Structure 1
Amino acid sequence: MRKTTIMPYTELWAEEFERESDAIKNIFERAVLYHMGSTSVPAIGYAKPVIDILGVLEDISEADRLSADMERLGYEVCGENGIPGRRFFTKGGNERTHHVHLYEKGNEQIDIHLNFKRYLLEHPTDAKAYGELKLQLLQEFPDQHEEYQTRKQPFVSELAKKANEWAKRKD
């Protein structure tokens, strides 16, 4: 069973993203990689210490063809893992350290993830509320990772909706 761990924000997460993305770029040379998720938004204040990396590929079949190279980097190959068109990789087993989400250029999930991050970077009050929710849920469900995730989802979904509406207004 995975236990939820939350840590205060640290700039070391940005450094870890850079290190890991360099290794991933050795496999997917033409990929465009983004740091996403709570470890990429300082105003959230707290995050699971898991570096989320979003990768954009010209052709998603490249992810399938090179998955053995990701395994050599220590990643578990998880296929689409519930999101059509995604290739998902995790590192660290039950003590996860990294998630890699690969999409083919043009997949709508790319904008959804990037809009979410941009919105939180420009709306620190919402980001802080998200961090506070994480702490509250951690106190309520310290050993129930799935329940933590389930309870967090409505807030995240609402933030994602706000982020996408905000992004449309900006365009």
Structure 2
Amino acid sequence: MREMKVVPYKQEWKNQYEVEKQLIEEVFQDEIVDIHHIGSTSVPGLAAKPVIDILIEVKNIAFIHTYNNEMIKRGYECKGENGIEGRRYFQKGGEDRTHHVHMYEQGHSEVGRHLRFRDYLRKHPDEAWQYACLKQELAKKYQYSPAEYVEGKTSFIQMIDQKALRK
């Protein structure tokens, strides 16, 4: 059973992202348009689950499944769309996840949403702090219930998404 843990920000998360970015670039090479560090580990000072989220924009999402075996060799599970149309999702680390890779075709609306959310929190440390407190509270309350943890964050995330759209 997966345990929800939110820990203080760690400077090493940036380095972990850079290492994984190089590994992924070796796999997908010319398919990649851009790679971004997203999620809470990408916001300096923000407490987070210690999982590196990577967003990759690709030229054509229809070809990504042809790289599944290479991702498996590098320790990833290939999850297909995993509930989000137009996405390809990979996770690494099993129950103790270390990395999530979210792939979208260039121009997909989720790319902009993720980047706006990250950038807004980077520019608004007070709201990043509120988000960290909420996540810590939810992680304690729903320690073994990932779905309830995620649901508990939804309204805050939507509020930040709206504010980020107006900036």
- Normalised TM-score (structure 2): 0.94
Residue among 33, 37, 46 paired with 1:35:
37
| Aligned alpha-carbon RMSD (Å) | 1.1
Aligned to 1:2: 2
Long gaps (5+) in structure 1: 167-171
Deviation at 1:137, TM superposition (A): 1.3
AA in 1 matched with 2:39: G
How far has the Cα of 1:154 moved from its partner?
A: 1.4
1:59, 1:141 → 2: CA distance?
38
TM-score, normalising length: structure 1:
0.92
How many residues align structurally? Answer: 165
Q: Retained in 1: the 8 A contact 2:8–2:45?
A: no
SS of the equivalent of 1:20 reads helix
Q: Deviations over 1:116-150 (max 9, x none)?
A: 11111111111111001111112222222222111
Tell me which residue corresponds to 2:19: 19
Runs of 4+ aligned residues of structure 1 deviating over 4 Å after TM superposition are none
Q: Could you tell me the percent identity over the aligned residues?
A: 41
Q: How does 1:124-143 map to 2 (within 5 A)?
A: 124-143=125-144
Query: Contact 1:43–1:121 (CA<8 Å) still a contact in 2?
Result: no
Q: Distance in 2 between matches of 1:118 and 1:131?
A: 15
Q: For residues 1-171 of structure 1, what are the structure 2 equivalents within 5 Å?
A: 1-30=1-30, 31=32, 32-44=34-46, 46-166=47-167
What stretches of structure 2 of length at least 5 have no aligned partner?
none
The amino acid across from 1:85 in the alignment is: G
Q: Secondary structure at the match of 2:27?
A: coil
